Amino acid sequence: MSSLFDSLDENIIDISYSFNQDSDIVLCNNDTLEILKSLPDNSFKLIISSPPYNIGKIYEKKIDLNEYLSWQSRIITEMYRVCCEDGSIVWQVGNYIDDSEIFPLDVYFYPIFKNIGMKLRNRIIWHFDHGLHASKRFSGRYEVLLWFTKSNNYTFNLDSVRIPSKYPGKRHYKGEKIGLPSGNPLGKNPSDFWTLIEREWENGIVDIPNVKANHPEKTEHPCSFPIELIERFVLALTNENDWVLDPFGGVGSSVIAALKRNRRGMMIEKEKLYIEISEKRIKDFQNGTLKTRPIGKQIYKPSGHEKVAQIPIEWLSNSEEK
């Protein structure tokens, strides 16, 4: 598939720093709410982001939960206004934690979206195998993506994101279609449980790992989106040349996912460092040097023979040592 960049000179990238319908990319270094208020109505087919969880990351100041939700409510109201009538908002959230008590943010966000008229289509569980180890509760290994639409007439390109069928040779065993294939030849509909991306290959289910440690997309940002996670939403919920907006853009993963799929992308980010990283990543993407993890790539599975996988001898009981 050709890219929006194909028509550009390899040393020139059309990046704007304020919204322009004729741009391919917009990187806006400013306050999210202030910029949202300046954007025109019904402009973005997909708005997707992972807002700050109010847990004290380096790019946020922890505030009272009610104050945080009030701030987010004002942002969501503006997002609803700038979302196309046939568009979607995908909000990826985890937990707010106070004095070791967990407050699941999706539970708090649902009524905010519902009260402004949005319709929940899926509550998607994104499972991953790596993360911080808790000491006073079980370690968290999933987050939630809430997919809302602005109306009942929304874009959903299911065929663009189908996954291989488990039993492609299955046939109807009764009725008028007896003996005919029972599945879709393009594959089956993905479920709402993403182990990270649910693709059944010869060696099993392929995951979408979160961006940690030696992930090829790791940058200075502590919690960036994996590009392949956003790609599924871009493919399913938008068409070519549609606008994708990330109001908490981080290091530009949403914009890059949009560009990879011939869409237009805008991000808002208050931290100048992350804007600079995003711009470099976009240029690297254009030049073919950006390191990404492609959809469908299987994650590394330890064999169990690695030294670090062996139980330390001092952990063994006397009987086990014998």
Angle value at C-alpha 232, between 230 and 238, nearest 5 degrees: 90
Total structural domains within the chain:
1
Residue showing tokens 């001898």: 313
Residues 252, 262: Cα–Cα separation, whole Å? 16
**What one-letter code names the amino acid at 54?**
N
Q: Which residue has the higher pLDDT, 10 or 299?
A: 299
Beta bridge partners of 201: 204
Query: What is the three-class DSSP state of 145?
Result: strand
Domain with 117, as residue range(s), is 4-321
Helices H, strands E: what count in the chain?
7, 13
Average pLDDT over residues 41-67: 79
Token pair, residue 297, equals 């790539």
Helix 65-82 to helix 105-115 angle (10° resolution) is 40
Residues 135, 139: Cα–Cα separation, whole Å? 8
Residues 7, 5: Cα–Cα separation, whole Å? 6
**CA dist list (Å): 309 to 130, 210, 260, 305:** 16, 21, 38, 6
In this structure, are residues 197 and 295 in contact, taking their beta carbons and an 8 Å threshold? yes
**What one-letter code names the amino acid at 188?**
K
Element (H, E) at 232: helix 227-237
Residues 171-198 have pLDDT tens digits of 888 999 898 888 898 888 988 988 744 4
β pairing state of 119-127 and 44-49: unpaired
Angle value at C-alpha 72, between 139 and 270, nearest 5 degrees: 90
Q: Which residue has the higher pLDDT, 246 or 294?
A: 246
Residues 219-263 have pLDDT tens digits of 554 455 788 889 999 999 999 999 999 999 999 999 999 999 999
Residues 115-166 have pLDDT tens digits of 999 999 999 998 877 667 788 888 888 899 999 999 999 999 999 999 888 7
pTM of the model: 0.81
Q: What is the CA radius of gyration of the chain?
A: 22
- What's residue 99's pLDDT? 84
In this structure, are residues 23 and 16 in contact, taking their beta carbons and an 8 Å threshold? yes
Which percentage of the chain shows pLDDT scores above 70? 76
Q: What does the mean pLDDT of the chain come to?
A: 82
CATH number of residue 211's parent domain? 3.40.50.150
Residues 302, 143: Cα–Cα separation, whole Å? 24
Confidence of residue 317 (pLDDT cuts 50, 70, 90): low
